[in-house]
Amino acid sequence: MKHYIILLALCCFILSCKETEKQSEEIQKEDTELSELFGLMQGSFNSEIQAKVDSSYYNISLHMYPIWEDKGHFLYVEQALTSAQNKPYRQRIYEVTRLNDSLLSSAVYSIPRDSLWIGKWKTPKAFDSISKSDLMIRKGCEVLLQRKDNNYYVGKTGDNTCESSLRGAAYARSEVEILEDKIISWDRGFDAEGEHVWGAEKGGYIFNKMD
C-alpha cells in the first residue's frame, strides 16, 4: 500500500510538471508572437512604388516608432503625403497587446495637441513628457490581428464599430496585412447607408519598409 501511494504521488508530480511546462511553453509562444508583431510594425514606410504604378494612389509616408518602452508595446504613428511630411493628416498612438491565445489587438489613441508632436518619431523619448492617461482611446477602432505564418499577420476593425465623421462618413473600416518588408493597409469611410465616401477603392495601400 505504501509503495502504491508513493507511485501515485510520483505520477501526480510528473503530470504537474508536464502541465507547468506546457503552460510555460504557451506563454513563451505568446510572448514571441507579440514581440514579432510589434517588431514588424516598427520603422519608416512609404507607398512610392505603388503610386508610380497606379496614379490613383498617392505616395504616402508612414512612420511608426516605439515609445514608453518600459511600459508595454506602444508606437507613435505619423502619416502624411511624402511631399508634405511637415503636415501629417494622421497622428496616433497604438498599443499592441494580446487578447487571447490566438488574437492580438492594436488599440488606437488620439493625442492631445497633436501638432506639437509632428516629426517626433525621430525623437521618441519626447513622449516621456506625457502618459497613457493623457490620451483618448478611439473605441471600436482597434485592429484585431491573427498570425498566419512567420512574420505575417492579418487583421481588421469591426465592420462598423469605428465612428468617423470625415467627409460625411458615419464609420471607418480598416483591413491590415503586416509582413516583414511591408504593411498593406486599406482604410475606408462609409456613410450611414453603407456607401463608400472616402479611402482607396481598389484595395489597400502598400507601404514598403524603408529601413
Integer CA distances (angstroms), 41 to 79, 192, 193, in order: 14, 32, 33
Phi then psi for 132, rounded to 5 degrees? -55, -35
Looking up cell 517626433, which residue turns up?
120
Residue range 97-114: mean pLDDT, rounded: 95
Residue range 95-108: mean pLDDT, rounded: 96
Looking up cell 505616395, which residue turns up?
59
For residue range 118-151, list pLDDT tens digits in order: 999 999 999 999 999 999 999 999 999 999 999 9
Q: Give the count of beta carbons closer than 10 Å to the beta carbon of residue 39.
A: 13
CATH superfamily of domain region 33-209: CpcT/CpeT domain (2.40.128.590)
Percent above pLDDT 70 for the chain: 86
For residue 78, the number of C-alpha atoms closer than 13 Å in the C-beta half-sphere is 23
Find out whether 170 and 199 touch, Cβ atoms under 8 Å.
Answer: no
For residue range 6-50, list pLDDT tens digits in order: 555 444 545 454 454 444 444 445 479 999 999 999 999 999 999
Residue range 51-68: mean pLDDT, rounded: 98
pLDDT of 131 reads 96
Higher pLDDT, 184 or 29: 184
- Domain ranges in the chain? 33-209
Instruction: Give the whole-angstrom CA distance, residue 74 versus residue 77.
Output: 10
Residues near 140 by beta carbon (within 8 Å), at least 6 away in sequence: 157, 158, 161, 162, 163
pLDDT of 49 reads 98
pLDDT of 91 reads 98
